[in-house]
Amino acid sequence: MAEPPLKGIRVIELARILAGPWAGQLLADLGADVIKVENPDGGDDTRKWGPPFVEGRDGENLSAAYYHSCNRGKRSVALDFSTSEGAATVRKLVATADVLIENFKLGGLKKYGLDYETLHKINPRLVYCSITGFGQDGPYAPRPGYDFIIQGMAGMMSITGAAGGEPQKAGVAISDIFTGLYSVIAIQAALRHAETTGQGQYIDMALFDTQISVLGNQNLNYLVSGKSPVQMGNAHMNIAPYEVVPVRDGHIILAVGNDGQFQRFCHVIDLNDLPGDPDFATNAARVGNRAKLRAAIVERLANYDKAPLLAKLETAGVPASPINTIGEMFADPQAIARGMRLDLDDGHGNKLPSVRAPMLMSETPPAYNRPSPRLGEHTDEILAELERQGE
């Protein structure tokens, strides 16, 4: 089996919190040597974003769970690049690198000589990925970027939450995470360009742009109709019944996507008159009459318990599922079979929990050989490498 696909690529990560580190972690999973540059005074802010904190076998605080969610596979070097000496060391690292990821405010690295124009002269092949809230231009460019605010400004919260209720953000920082993913896509494309031309480039990634782009069909619903989609709780604007429904002992997800599935669903719960009713015979009719449809379904499902109903729906080929807690999800046989949980040896007698990247590659599988690093854990090792390279 071959080595991970990005083996031999070096990434310098001048990023903290989530979007930049998420991109760095994924590149590390794919085999890149990701060097995380952290301030010696505390390091990445998320090291303190707890509880919960990961505790070593001797009771040592090994940083917050949040930090470990997005820093697997990296090496940590503690450098204060606000000093001339620290900035010079980072420039030496960049001279050996293929990629730099940073998420400072607009122009925030220029005063340290770590901006793209300066570093491009040092390393013309460098792919420089800058992640900000609003991008490098436009009236909001100088503003800081916070996932919560981006979800609000970029439309996500206007379509999330119960109909008529308070707008809701997603349960995780999706603007940050999606921006990290799109950054990796752009970085890999830019690396391909650098391989063929010898020239790096500047990548301008904005949380605002990303959040707009991932609204998917809701964007087109507006652009085609001229009407902004609204909050619909767990219902779907374009499909019915496609929502959470109550049963006798809780709730399930019902995801009926076509007329055949609707017919089979109605047969399972003994509502055989509905598929022949013009109000419900087609998806368009069901969407137009969703309130009446839901009332009929909810009345009937009050007689059913989750587990036996889900078993019958699965046998009938009707998409439906339980609503698992995160604990139930990790205990699910499918999550176990797919090996989603990782426990990584940190070299100090501890097993650190992690979650694998959702990529299974037959010839060049991702590598999970290194857990999240301790602050400055690899400083001496990395500086010694620089000395050897300078000899």
In a domain, 237, yes or no: no
In a domain, 24, yes or no: yes
Give yes or no: residues 48 and 142 share one domain: yes
Segment 249-253 mean pLDDT: 97
pTM (2 decimals)?
0.93
Give yes or no: residues 349 and 323 share one domain: no
CATH of the domain at 247: 3.30.1540.10
Segment 66-78 mean pLDDT: 97
- Say what the pLDDT of residue 391 is: 62
Number of domains in the chain: 2
In a domain, 233, yes or no: no
Tell me the C-alpha distance between 375 and 77, whole Å: 7
Count of residues making up the chain: 391
- The beta strands (E) that lie in 207-359 are given as 242-247, 250-255, 320-321, 341-345, 351-355
- Say what the pLDDT of residue 226 is: 97
Give yes or no: residues 32 and 90 share one domain: yes
Give yes or no: residues 207 and 301 share one domain: no
Active site residues: 176
- Say what the pLDDT of residue 2 is: 82
Give yes or no: residues 59 and 113 share one domain: yes
What are the pLDDT digits (tens) for 81-93?
999 999 999 999 9
Tell me the C-alpha distance between 239 and 101, whole Å: 40
Give yes or no: residues 115 and 192 share one domain: yes
In a domain, 158, yes or no: yes
By the 8 A CB rule, do 173 and 119 touch? no
CATH of the domain at 47: 3.40.50.10540
In a domain, 228, yes or no: no
Tell me the C-alpha distance between 125 and 138, whole Å: 28
Dihedral sign (CA 99, 193, 185, 217): positive
In a domain, 270, yes or no: yes
Percent above pLDDT 70 for the chain: 99
State phi, psi for 91 to the nearest 5 degrees.
-65, -35
- At 358, list the tokens: 């959702």
Tell me the C-alpha distance between 43 and 344, whole Å: 21
In a domain, 224, yes or no: no
- Model confidence at 24, in pLDDT bands (50, 70, 90)? very high
Q: Which of 329, 350, 365 is the endpoint of a domain?
A: 329
Tell me the C-alpha distance between 370 and 352, whole Å: 10
Give yes or no: residues 79 and 98 share one domain: yes
**Cα–Cα distance list, 170 to 51, 57, 152 (Å):** 21, 34, 10
Other C-beta atoms closer than 10 Å to the C-beta of 185 total 11
Segment 323-348 mean pLDDT: 96
Q: What integer best gives the mean pLDDT of the chain?
A: 96
SS3 129: strand
In a domain, 63, yes or no: yes
Give yes or no: residues 41 and 185 share one domain: yes
- Model confidence at 390, in pLDDT bands (50, 70, 90)? confident
